[in-house]
Structure 1
Amino acid sequence: MANLKEIRNRIASVSSTMQITSAMKMVSAAKLKKAQDAITAMRPYSQKLTELLQNLSATMDGDTGGAFAEQRAINKVLVVAITSNRGLCGAFNSNVIKQVKAVEAMYAGKQVDVITVGKKGNDVLDKTSNITENHSSVYDDLTFENVAAIAESLMDKFAAGEYDRIELVYNHFKNAATQQILTEQFLPLATAENADVDNSNVDYIFEPSKEEIVLSLIPLSLKTQLYKAIRDSFASEHGARMTAMHKATDNATDLRNQLKLTYNKARQAAITNEILEIVGGAEALNN
């Protein structure tokens, strides 16, 4: 059995760790509230914008999406892996990395490049995948304007024919304890046939023309889609970290209690041994 000093040192170490994880849990909980409010407020706008674009496209003949709707033979694929800049959030980052690997395997034999958003994903994927860009700094100032610049770059690459398909891989925020990995097609635009669009009750008055509206909505819709994905991931990160730190704090509490029990048993055994030695010494003197 370890001596009392070693056990005391371990108890102090575990208690210190428990204080750190508890503090990190509270910080993540505070940040989660703000991030959750942001993504919850944004989702209805994003969904309505997508629905409007799909409804308009479904009522039009021919190719209405311009270069962004062009369906090509898939030879060159770009994967946008959205992770975090910090760790200690459970399987949040590793799940994205695994999904990126699955997407690469799905397009085996084709050119697959990766753009990372987040240092953690970049650090791992840089060793195994062909990373062309890293936009980890977007988290320093997560605004629509900064994300829109990344979206414009992706749109330019697709329009120029550098890639035939662009996929987003990120964590979708469901609640603080649950994040769902999504692989979402960014470009080309999903056709009206692939989207469940019900335009039976749609009645719009167009000003200017329907075509001009659609062409102006497409870039906005794509920028909003990417911004929503990064916001989703950002909220998921804080939820995952809060859950991970909560579990870590509980585990540290259990370990500290076990160590205290071990310490008390060792102390009791030491006291018993001392008493036995005293009694034995007294009996030896009497004899």
Structure 2
Amino acid sequence: MANLRDIRTRIGSIKTTRQVTSAMKMVSAARLKKAQDNISHIRPYTGRMAGIMAHLAASLDKPVAFDYSIPKKNGQTLILVIASNRGLCGGFNANVVKAVQSLIYGDLKQDYKSGKISISILGRQAEKMFKSRNIPVDETHHDLIQTASFSEISNFADKLMQQFSEGVYSKVIVVYNEFINAAVQSVQSYQYLPFEIAIPDEAQPESSYYIYEPDPLTIIHSLVPNMLHAMLFQIVLESQASEHGARMTSMHKATDNATDLIKELQLGYNKARQTAITNQIVEITGGAEALNNG
């Protein structure tokens, strides 16, 4: 009977765990809806601003340098890692750490060996993983992803732009999870600085339809900081939505696995109970026969 008690205890424990994972799934689903709304609002904004800048750049007679577009020599390469402060979200954090490892042991191997790589992290879980892999972390800014307000992210972007202008960093690469859908997140390694304007082939004809006041280069100079603010804010929002989607999917799988395990344990419990009852009947019958024969 001790075995039956152990099975009952385990079933009760797993049911409690299932309640927790189910509740976490519902919370993540609610947060994911809000995060998706935020992404749906900012993506058109950054996309339209990028289009305006592309047409402005295409209207210029020749490529010209603008603020934050000229890489500085002898500076550090900053890898800005955006992850999460909490776990239980599947491979969300591990995938970002693997992408950083592929950078520092691949394309940036020489810079990493010579000490020209700095790593800044937004997310406590990623920091723990880097420390367990003996990868040094230079800066942490975990509070920025706690609320992810535009003003705080913009101030942080201003700091990065200033350090880039002063030559502290020659390049800034952001590694994060891009939100595809609730079940799919794509790890991206994006060059944040120096800033580049992608000019599509069709931008040149359309640019002739506009009259610019002041000149296009002046407008580009004024738009670039705003674009960098919006881009970093979008990246943080993308990462947050990916985190909620990954956690919702992970908790959904955990809830299903708990349900399957409970069914298996319940079946084992019923079999063990039947075996115990059968053994008791055999003992009673054997005892009765022994009394009759005695």
Q: Is the counterpart of residue 113 in structure 1 residue 118 in structure 2?
A: yes
Query: What's the CA shift string for 1:196-225, capped at 9, x where partnerless?
Result: 352122332212222221001000111111
Q: Is the counterpart of residue 161 in structure 1 residue 167 in structure 2?
A: yes
1:51 matched to which residue of 2?
Answer: 51
1:3 matched to which residue of 2?
Answer: 3
TM-score by length of 1: 0.94
1:100 matched to which residue of 2?
Answer: 100
Higher alpha-carbon deviation: 87-96 or 107-116: 107-116
How much has 1:237 moved relative to structure 2? Answer: 0.4
Query: What's the CA shift string for 1:57-100, capped at 9, x where partnerless?
Result: 2322342413x111456863111100011000000000001101
Partner SS state of residue 173, structure 2: strand
Structure 1's consecutive aligned runs of 4 or more residues displaced over 4 angstroms after TM superposition are 72-75
1:19 matched to which residue of 2?
Answer: 19
1:198 matched to which residue of 2?
Answer: 202
Alignment RMSD (CA, Å) = 1.7
Distance in 1 between residues matched to 2:23 and 2:201, nearest whole Å: 47
Asked if the contact 1:64–1:211 (Cα under 8 Å) also holds between the matched residues in 2, the reply is no
Summarize the alignment of residues 208-227 of structure 1 with structure 2, pairs less than 5 Å apart: 208-227=214-233
Letter in 2 for 1:277: E
Asked if the contact 1:176–1:239 (Cα under 8 Å) also holds between the matched residues in 2, the reply is yes
Gap change, CA 1:283 and 1:126, over 3 Å in 2: closer
Gap change, CA 1:161 and 1:73, over 3 Å in 2: closer
How much has 1:131 moved relative to structure 2? Answer: 2.3
Letter in 2 for 1:210: P
2:238 matched to which residue of 1?
Answer: 232
How much has 1:54 moved relative to structure 2? Answer: 2.2
Asked if the contact 1:57–1:64 (Cα under 8 Å) also holds between the matched residues in 2, the reply is no
Summarize the alignment of residues 123-272 of structure 1 with structure 2, pairs less than 5 Å apart: 123-126=128-131, 128-192=134-198, 195-199=199-203, 200-202=205-207, 203-272=209-278
Asked if the contact 1:115–1:132 (Cα under 8 Å) also holds between the matched residues in 2, the reply is yes
Partner SS state of residue 221, structure 1: helix
Higher alpha-carbon deviation: 75-84 or 50-59: 50-59
Partner SS state of residue 90, structure 1: coil
Distance in 1 between residues matched to 2:201 and 2:232, nearest whole Å: 21
The unaligned stretches of length 5 or more in structure 1 are none
How much has 1:109 moved relative to structure 2? Answer: 1.6
| Identity within the alignment, % | 44
TM-score by length of 2: 0.92
Letter in 2 for 1:91: G
How much has 1:189 moved relative to structure 2? Answer: 1.5
Higher alpha-carbon deviation: 77-86 or 48-57: 48-57
Distance in 1 between residues matched to 2:201 and 2:164, nearest whole Å: 25
Letter in 1 for 2:43: R
Asked if the contact 1:167–1:183 (Cα under 8 Å) also holds between the matched residues in 2, the reply is yes
Letter in 2 for 1:198: E
